[in-house]
Chain A
């Protein structure tokens, strides 16, 4: 047990990296998802095509492959661009690479979530807003966003849980997260099971806490709506 007490802080510090990574990636994914869903629904034909290609490509490949592709391919692209402009190439740090790649991956899944939620808003509500002469920004804030958030919540919740669990893959691009810490400590202390079990418990606590938070959020967003019971 002593070994566990000695090394636990390192695993916990790794978990903090995971938490920061997941939150950063979810913010980025949400922004990408909103913009892409908007482009897919109302953009010109070319934009719609690009968004469609993005979602199909990303959702067709394993997150691990995309992570490797974005990390190594992105670095190669940056090097080539720096070469062309006769600048010193910038080395992407693994944390940024993690946030960007996970954000790009789950942005594609969220695009579909937001698109579905938007299509589920009764069209009459939006038309009523337009008939009142609301400017686009007011329309979006007052009429579209509240039901959009409520309708997108179940999908958003699911994708958040998948995103959190995908964060465990980032050690492959060199980020020193909880999994990385547990692997190296497990190897040197010859107790790999103990430390991997700790990581498992930490992830379970994280997903459990986020379930609680989402349940509360769902109740808030559902205020003023009637629950249909069959």
Chain B
């Protein structure tokens, strides 16, 4: 196919797209994780007022399309004069900021649920053992509960990361040149109809492959103790 011959003339375009896609993926993943761990702890403790608020907000994020959240921020915020006048406006009007905020909160909403399940699945005997050897509550959390919960949640983290990667394609709809954006520009240069999207699709496939492989290796190392013998 002609498109696959000329694609090598446009490597910088696709590399820019790849860089932006990966940047969105990695930054949103880190932000949402850092945010989700304390919030999940609050949810598992059933703190009055705080837990219902976190649950409700997380439900709203999980129940609405990410693209609507992005549009709400990117096109919607300009409706309010006080936001346009605020010191944050130079950042808030950038597509990157809106995307990172939406991706972070959208992923965080799911991570809270995953982490809550994983934390509640930690055997209570392990917590009691930690107490019995004299660990403080914080030590119990840091040495026993969280490492255990993170390991159990690995397969869910993997799925969530792949969903996040899929979600980053929305960036191309608000002016960011991610992989899809690069594919679209490529189409425009040659009057192609779909070839650029096919190349973008293959690159996404490659990223997913690498992610799955890395998680398989990680799980093999970290979940040794959960594997059943003899099967």
Query: Which chain B residues lie closer than 8 Å to A168 at the CB level?
Result: 65, 67-68
Between A and B, how many residue pairs show CB distances below 8 Å? 113
0/1 per residue, B184-226, Cβ < 8 Å to A?
Answer: 0000000001100110110011001100000000000000000
Report whether A61 and B201 are in contact in the complex, using a CB–CB cutoff of 8 Å: yes
Query: Which chain A residues lie closer than 8 Å to B79 at the CB level?
Result: 190-194
A59 to B121, CA, bound (A): 28
Report whether A193 and B65 are in contact in the complex, using a CB–CB cutoff of 8 Å: no
0/1 per residue, A185-204, Cβ < 8 Å to B?
Answer: 01100111110110110011
Q: Is B125's CB within 8 Å of the partner chain A?
A: no
Q: Is the interface of A mostly helix, strand, loop or mixed?
A: helix
Report whether B201 and A69 are in contact in the complex, using a CB–CB cutoff of 8 Å: yes
Partner of B205, one of A61, A64, A68, A166: A61
Partner of B64, one of A59, A61, A190, A207: A207
Report whether A65 and B68 are in contact in the complex, using a CB–CB cutoff of 8 Å: no
Report whether A72 and B197 are in contact in the complex, using a CB–CB cutoff of 8 Å: yes
Q: Is A159's CB within 8 Å of the partner chain B?
A: no
- From B37-45, B69-77, B127-135, B139-147, the one touching the partner chain is B69-77
Q: Which residue of chain B lies nearest to A168 when distances are taken between CB atoms in the complex?
A: B65
Report whether A203 and B76 are in contact in the complex, using a CB–CB cutoff of 8 Å: no
Partner of B204, one of A60, A172, A208: A60
Report whether B193 and A196 are in contact in the complex, using a CB–CB cutoff of 8 Å: no
Partner of B68, one of A68, A172, A191, A196: A196
A66 to B194, CA, bound (A): 10
Report whether B194 and A62 are in contact in the complex, using a CB–CB cutoff of 8 Å: no
Q: Which of B68, B69, B72 has the most CB of A within 10 A?
A: B68
Q: Is B35's CB within 8 Å of the partner chain A?
A: no
- From B7-15, B89-97, B165-173, the one touching the partner chain is B165-173
0/1 per residue, B46-70, Cβ < 8 Å to A?
Answer: 0000000000000010111111110
Report whether B63 and A69 are in contact in the complex, using a CB–CB cutoff of 8 Å: no
A161 to B180, CA, bound (A): 24
Q: Is A146's CB within 8 Å of the partner chain B?
A: no
A179 to B197, CA, bound (A): 23
Partner of B72, one of A62, A167, A200: A200
A54 to B7, CA, bound (A): 25
CB-CB under 8 A for A204 and B169, given A193-B80, A196-B71 = no
Within residues 56 to 92 of chain A, which ones have a CB less than 8 A from any CB in chain B?
57, 59-66, 68-69, 72-73, 75-76
Report whether A64 and B180 are in contact in the complex, using a CB–CB cutoff of 8 Å: yes
A169 to B179, CA, bound (A): 17
Partner of A62, one of B63, B76, B169: B169
What is the CB-to-nearest-CB distance from B225 to chain A, in angstroms, rounded to a whole number? 20
Query: Which chain B residues lie closer than 8 Å to A150 at the CB level?
Result: none
A66 to B200, CA, bound (A): 10
What is the CB-to-nearest-CB distance from B92 to chain A, in angstroms, rounded to a whole number? 12
Extra pairs beyond A61-B208, A179-B65, A182-B71 (13, CB < 8 Å): A57-B205, A59-B208, A61-B201, A65-B197, A65-B201, A69-B198, A161-B63, A169-B65, A169-B67, A187-B75, A193-B77, A200-B68, A208-B63
